[in-house]
Structure 1
Amino acid sequence: KMSVPDYMQCAEDHQTLLVVVQPIGIVPEESFFRIYKRISAVSQVNVRDSQRVLFIRYRHHYPPENNEWGDFQTHRKVVGLITITDCSSAKDWPQTFEKFHLQKEMYGSTLYDSRLFVFGLQGEIAEQPRTDVAFYPSYDECETVEKRIEDFIESLFIVLESKRLDRATDKSGDKIPLLCVPFEKKDFVGLDTDSRHYKKRCQGRMRKHVGDLCLQAGMLQDSLVHYHMAVELLRSVNDFLWLGAALEGLCSASVIYHYPGGTGGKVGSRRSQGGSLSAEASNRHRPGAQEVLIDPGALTSNGINADTSAEIGRAKNCLSPEDIIDKYKEAISYYGKYKNAGVIELEACVKAVRVLAIQKRSMEASEFLQNAVYINLRQLSEEEKIQRYSILSELYERIGFHRKSAFFKRIAAMQCAAPSIPEPGWRACYKLLLETLPGYSLSLDPKDFSKGTHRGWAAVQMRLLHELVYASRRMGNPALCVRHLSFLLQTMLDFLSDQEKKDVTQSLESYTAKCPGTMEFITLPDGLKLPPVPFTKLPIVRSVKLLNLPTSLRPHKMKSLLGQSVSTKSPFIYSPIIAHSRGEERSKKIDFQWVQGDVCEVQLMVYNPMPFELRVENMGLLTTGVEFESLPAALSLPAESGLYPVTLVGVPQTTGQITVNG
């Protein structure tokens, strides 16, 4: 039974050759991943003397039991092994080379070729020319790594091509072996190998296998032909598991044809090199059907060939975008008949969703995802559960199901802190919870909640805020607890029951005893800034009245030194004509009430909505427009009090227009 699903699988992975890169002995992690990054950059190679392109998929960890499914789908087969080792002295060399051989044995039956990269060994051994070993003085002096990998991939291609030609040639009279998945082997003991039914099964499975090899060898059109023939043969003998695989092969080849940019969400086209080569050139190297080659210029914005008339002759076996999904559905229904094929079924669902996301068919994609959720695998580790839920969340996000995406991301967050984990990852939990906020229409800026009606489900939002508070506490960050609790009280007050109001305020009181709340921004490690949360709802303000200054301090219009009758615009010191104008009459009125530097007052009518006494230790004015020193007031309001007058004071420090916000 294949145990470990690859949630990042996409349809175009079926055309890749799988190469595992692993360290031998003690290799510094940083050095290993520096070399691994350079190796994995060589993911696309134009084969010399051929117009074909090989695609390589690199993994630094691959479970050997998954490798046993390599006959079922050849992209699951480890065909290349690259090992990286540190070896500084000649006496360690024999042991190092022995370890390399042991590593090869792990994947032995499927490997086409392997390489050993040795770092640090110099001298006689390192100077002997070898194809399977490359010696480098250090991790910094290894310019030829990429060239070595290209040569290695060419050697993989030679083996692949010989296998393809060997299997594709119909040797009449020879018995075709029956390819099996691991759990089938015991079922075929004692079967009549001469029956027509058995022979058809062997032919169908081998035909499907050849389709896989053609797809990997860069012969898309040939693979389509083989897959179609395999589907007919396997359907006639009700070989459902392998029929599903043949249908999925058909889907993969068709997806590669229709979507040369790929479906995995990776940047850039996977077919950028060698994508528009001439069909004549490719025909020189092999017999059979013409190669399908795509001119990137002929693609529309959604990645489907715009003018298919010229392609009909060449791609008649290719499924249409709609048929691809129908065939995926059929393949998945066949996989579902076998409990040991759960991983295959799950990965097929994920691949179909990635295709539907490109086709913008969200509702159908959600059906595939719903199916993926209910596929039972073996008992997953906590880490695997986190990965599973995170990928489901990402896929729901991709098809525009933001709330469903948030739902699964929250489950992943909870999994990070599961009781069964010896060291719960509260930081990872907190980070994932923050990422769920947009899906639940929740922002952490209180200003977003002051405008009009409440958006989203308040009950879910409150639960999420409580979880953020709890995660903050477990991370040992009381300032974050205070900020989130303050936000909860300020924005969700209308939805809290009396008991919840008591609980939240008691929690807030205990946290602020350790870490008082501030009006500063809190910056999180990933750069996110949490704005301050002023309690503009506690107590609730029913009326606001800006008071004039006392009469003795009130501003008055100064009388003109020139006398009332003379306009300030007049050139004359004195005029007997009184030229009153309405404008001047109006100008006697002053357009300001408060004065810079004087104590100014605002009268409020407030009441306490809480079911307990509300002690406000710091109540001040929130203003904009003018620099303003707010002088805080303290008050105590009885439970569910009626309207209560409060006067708040402050001193404007500059002139201008002041806005009192709260």
Structure 2
Amino acid sequence: KMSVPDYMQCAEDHQTLLVVVQPIGIVPEESFFRIYKRISAVSQVNVRDSQRVLYIRYRHHYPPENNEWGDFQTHRKVVGLITITECSSAKEWPQTFEKFHLQKEMYGSTLYDSRLFVFGLQGEIAEQPRTDVAFYPSYDECETVEKRIEDFIESLFIVLESKRLDRATDKSGDKIPLLCVPFEKKDFVGLDTDSRHYKKRCQGRMRKHVGDLCLQAGMLQDSLVHYHMAVELLRSVNDFLWLGAALEGLCSASVIYHYPGGTGGKVGSRRAQGSSLSAEAGNRHRPGAQEVLIDPGALTSNGINADTSAEIGRAKNCLSPEDIIEKYKEAISYYGKYKNAGVIELEACVKAVRVLAMQKRSMEASEFLQNAVYINLRQLSEEEKIQRYSILSELYERIGFHRKSAFFKRIAAMQCAAPSIPEPGWRACYKLLLETLPGYSLSLDPQDFSKGTHRGWAAVQMRLLHELVYASRRMGNPALCVRHLSFLLQTMLDFLSDQEKKDVTQSLESYTAKCPGTMEVITLPDGLKLPPVPFTKLPIVKSVKLLNLPTSLRPHKMKSLLGQNVSTKSPFIYSPIIAHSRGEERNKKIDFQWVQGDVCEVQLMVYNPMPFELRVENMGLLTTGVEFESLPAALSLPAESGLYPVTLVGVPQTTGQITVNG
């Protein structure tokens, strides 16, 4: 049973050759990944004297039990092994080489070829020319790594091509071996190998296998023909598991034809990655030039030097974009009949979703994803669960289901701190929780909640804010706890029950005792800024009235004592000596009520919505436009007080227009 799913699989991976790169002995992680990065950059190679391109998929870890499914789908078969080791003396060399052989045995039955890269060994041994071993003095002196990898891939191609030709031109009559997946082997013991049914099953499975080899060898048109023939043969004998695989092969080849840029959503086009691609090879994949992507003959003997001008039967066997999805559905329904094929079914769902995302068919993609959620695999480790939920979240995000994406990301966050983990990852949990905020229409800026109706689902948002508080506490950051709790109280007050109001304020009180709240912006390590949270809702203000000055201090209009014709050319706004003479000025009412330097008052009607006494130690006016000295007031409001009058005072220090904001 294949146990480890690859959630990053896409349809175009079916055309890749799988190469595993692993360290032998003690190799520093940084050095290993430095070389691994250079090796994996050689991901596509032009086949010499041909119009074909080989695509390589590199992995630094691959479960051997997954390799056993290599006959079922050849892109699952480890065909190349590259090992990296350090060896400083000739004395260590025999032991190092022995380890290389042991590593090869792990994937031995499927390997086409292997290489050993030795760093640090110099002298007689290193100077002997060898094809399977490359010696380099150090990690900094290894310029030929990429060239060695290209040569290695060419050797893989030679083996692949010989296998393809050998299988495609099998002249052994009816004696075709029966290819099996691991769990089937015991079912075929004692079967009548001479029956027509059995022979058709053998033929159908082998046809499908040759289709896989053609696809890997860069012969798209040939693979389509083989897959179609395999589908007919396998359908006639109800060989459902392999029929599903033949249909999926048909889908993969058709996806590669229709979407030459790939469906994996990786940065940059697949076709434009490879360092070794020639200019002509790059041009072959431009839109409108697909005729060279495939071999025009239905089944050419070797696919090399085909007459590309003919375009005979160009893609006539290729599925339409709509048919691709129908065939994926059919294949998945067949996989679903076998509980041991859960990983294959899950990966097929993920591949179909990536194709549907390209086609902008979100609703259908969500059906495939829903199916993927319910596929039962073996007992997963916590790390595998986190990976599974994160990928589901990413796929839902890609098809525009933002809330569903947030839902799975939140589950992944909770998994980071599961009780079964010896050292819970609270930082990872907190980071993932922050990433769910947009999906739940939640921002951490209180100003976004100050106007208009409430956006989003308050109950879910409150739950999420409580989880952020808890994760902050477990991370040992009380300042973050205070900020998130303040935000919760300020923005969700209307949705809190009396008991919840008590609980939140008690928590806030206990946190602020350790770490007082501030009006500073908190910047998180990843650069996210958390704005300060002023409590503009506690107490709730029902009415605001700006009071006139007392009569004795109120400004009055003075009647002119002088004649109306006196010149008013004066630099002063008001002078008792020179009166304003213009008629419109004289008739205007005074349009200001407060005076610079005098104590001015604002009357508020407030009430306490909390089910307990609210003590406000510092309540003042927030103003703009004029320099204003606010004289703070302190008050104590009984629980659910009803309307209560409060007068706030302050002194304007300059003239101009004042705005009272709160």
- TM beyond 0.5: yes
Select between 114-123 and 204-213 the one with higher mean Cα deviation.
114-123
Whole-angstrom distance in 1 between the partners of 2:301 and 2:321: 15
- CA distance 1:453–1:311, shift in 2 (3 Å): farther
Whole-angstrom distance in 2 between the partners of 1:605 and 1:543: 5
- CA distance 1:164–1:655, shift in 2 (3 Å): farther
Q: 1:201 Cα shift? A: 0.7
Q: 1:387 Cα shift? A: 0.6
Whole-angstrom distance in 2 between the partners of 1:564 and 1:123: 114
Whole-angstrom distance in 1 between the partners of 2:632 and 2:507: 24
Q: 1:581 Cα shift? A: 6.8
Q: 1:309 Cα shift? A: 15
Select between 514-523 and 590-599 the one with higher mean Cα deviation.
590-599
| Aligned residues of 1:611 and 1:640 also touching (Cα < 8 A) | yes
Q: 1:237 Cα shift? A: 0.6
- CA distance 1:569–1:83, shift in 2 (3 Å): same
Q: 1:322 Cα shift? A: 0.4
Select between 432-441 and 372-381 the one with higher mean Cα deviation.
432-441
| Aligned residues of 1:565 and 1:578 also touching (Cα < 8 A) | no
Whole-angstrom distance in 2 between the partners of 1:543 and 1:285: 69
Q: 1:133 Cα shift? A: 1.3
Q: 1:598 Cα shift? A: 5.9
Whole-angstrom distance in 2 between the partners of 1:284 and 1:507: 65
| Aligned residues of 1:275 and 1:294 also touching (Cα < 8 A) | no
- CA distance 1:571–1:319, shift in 2 (3 Å): closer
| Aligned residues of 1:2 and 1:341 also touching (Cα < 8 A) | yes
> Match for residue 317 of structure 1?
317
- CA distance 1:28–1:199, shift in 2 (3 Å): same
| Residue-by-residue CA offset, 1:508-567 (whole Å, 9 max, x unaligned) | 111111111111111111110011111111100011223445677767889999986434
SS at match of 2:554: coil
Select between 164-173 and 182-191 the one with higher mean Cα deviation.
164-173
- CA distance 1:74–1:605, shift in 2 (3 Å): same
Whole-angstrom distance in 2 between the partners of 1:591 and 1:294: 83
**Identity in percent:** 98
Whole-angstrom distance in 2 between the partners of 1:643 and 1:303: 88
SS at match of 1:229: helix
| Aligned residues of 1:628 and 1:650 also touching (Cα < 8 A) | yes
SS at match of 2:590: coil
Whole-angstrom distance in 1 between the partners of 2:116 and 2:251: 36
Q: 1:658 Cα shift? A: 3.4
Select between 386-395 and 305-314 the one with higher mean Cα deviation.
305-314
- CA distance 1:194–1:426, shift in 2 (3 Å): same
SS at match of 2:603: strand
Root-mean-square deviation (Å)? 5.4
| Aligned residues of 1:562 and 1:568 also touching (Cα < 8 A) | no
Q: 1:311 Cα shift? A: 7.4
| Residue-by-residue CA offset, 1:213-247 (whole Å, 9 max, x unaligned) | 11111111010000000000000111000000000
Whether 1:157 aligns to 2:157 is yes
| Aligned residues of 2:429 and 2:471 also touching (Cα < 8 A) | yes
Whole-angstrom distance in 2 between the partners of 1:295 and 1:583: 96
| Aligned residues of 2:21 and 2:36 also touching (Cα < 8 A) | yes
Q: 1:147 Cα shift? A: 1.3
Select between 358-367 and 550-559 the one with higher mean Cα deviation.
550-559
Whole-angstrom distance in 1 between the partners of 2:302 and 2:456: 33
Select between 553-562 and 284-293 the one with higher mean Cα deviation.
284-293
Q: 1:149 Cα shift? A: 1.1
| Aligned residues of 2:45 and 2:276 also touching (Cα < 8 A) | no
SS at match of 2:223: helix
Q: 1:132 Cα shift? A: 1.2
- CA distance 1:50–1:560, shift in 2 (3 Å): farther
Select between 300-309 and 385-394 the one with higher mean Cα deviation.
300-309
| Aligned residues of 1:276 and 1:295 also touching (Cα < 8 A) | no
- CA distance 1:280–1:549, shift in 2 (3 Å): closer
| Aligned residues of 1:292 and 1:314 also touching (Cα < 8 A) | no
Select between 11-20 and 26-35 the one with higher mean Cα deviation.
26-35
| Residue-by-residue CA offset, 1:403-454 (whole Å, 9 max, x unaligned) | 1111111111111111101111111111111111111111111111111111
Select between 19-28 and 340-349 the one with higher mean Cα deviation.
19-28
- CA distance 1:438–1:242, shift in 2 (3 Å): same
> Match for residue 37 of structure 1?
37
| Residue-by-residue CA offset, 1:169-198 (whole Å, 9 max, x unaligned) | 131436211111000011111111111111
- CA distance 1:305–1:644, shift in 2 (3 Å): farther
Stretches of structure 1 that go unaligned for 5 or more consecutive residues are none
Q: 1:393 Cα shift? A: 0.8
| Aligned residues of 1:50 and 1:282 also touching (Cα < 8 A) | no
| Aligned residues of 2:296 and 2:312 also touching (Cα < 8 A) | no
- CA distance 1:629–1:376, shift in 2 (3 Å): farther
| Aligned residues of 1:629 and 1:653 also touching (Cα < 8 A) | yes
| Aligned residues of 2:45 and 2:150 also touching (Cα < 8 A) | yes
Q: 1:580 Cα shift? A: 7.5
- CA distance 1:243–1:572, shift in 2 (3 Å): closer
| Aligned residues of 1:90 and 1:121 also touching (Cα < 8 A) | yes
Select between 105-114 and 312-321 the one with higher mean Cα deviation.
312-321
- CA distance 1:523–1:549, shift in 2 (3 Å): farther
| Aligned residues of 1:462 and 1:492 also touching (Cα < 8 A) | yes
| Aligned residues of 2:82 and 2:115 also touching (Cα < 8 A) | yes
- CA distance 1:343–1:304, shift in 2 (3 Å): farther
| Aligned residues of 1:64 and 1:107 also touching (Cα < 8 A) | yes
- CA distance 1:550–1:385, shift in 2 (3 Å): same
SS at match of 1:298: coil
- CA distance 1:534–1:570, shift in 2 (3 Å): closer
> Match for residue 60 of structure 1?
60
- CA distance 1:630–1:264, shift in 2 (3 Å): farther
Whole-angstrom distance in 2 between the partners of 1:283 and 1:348: 31
Q: 1:148 Cα shift? A: 1.3
Whole-angstrom distance in 1 between the partners of 2:471 and 2:573: 78
- CA distance 1:17–1:558, shift in 2 (3 Å): farther
- CA distance 1:186–1:660, shift in 2 (3 Å): same
How many residues in Structure 1 have an aligned counterpart in Structure 2?
662
SS at match of 1:616: strand
Q: 1:633 Cα shift? A: 2.6
Q: 1:492 Cα shift? A: 0.9
| Residue-by-residue CA offset, 1:35-75 (whole Å, 9 max, x unaligned) | 11111111111111111111111111110100000010000
- CA distance 1:16–1:281, shift in 2 (3 Å): closer
Q: 1:165 Cα shift? A: 0.8
Q: 1:501 Cα shift? A: 0.8
| Aligned residues of 1:277 and 1:293 also touching (Cα < 8 A) | no
Whole-angstrom distance in 1 between the partners of 2:448 and 2:299: 43
SS at match of 2:4: coil
Stretches of structure 2 that go unaligned for 5 or more consecutive residues are none
- CA distance 1:298–1:469, shift in 2 (3 Å): farther
Question: What is the TM-score when the length of structure 1 is the normalising length?
Answer: 0.91
SS at match of 2:271: coil
Whole-angstrom distance in 2 between the partners of 1:575 and 1:485: 56
| Aligned residues of 2:599 and 2:650 also touching (Cα < 8 A) | yes
Q: 1:568 Cα shift? A: 3.0
| Aligned residues of 2:41 and 2:274 also touching (Cα < 8 A) | no
| Aligned residues of 2:24 and 2:83 also touching (Cα < 8 A) | yes
- CA distance 1:274–1:539, shift in 2 (3 Å): closer
- CA distance 1:292–1:322, shift in 2 (3 Å): farther
Select between 577-586 and 324-333 the one with higher mean Cα deviation.
577-586
Whole-angstrom distance in 2 between the partners of 1:10 and 1:154: 24
Select between 628-637 and 348-357 the one with higher mean Cα deviation.
628-637
SS at match of 2:20: strand
Q: 1:34 Cα shift? A: 1.3
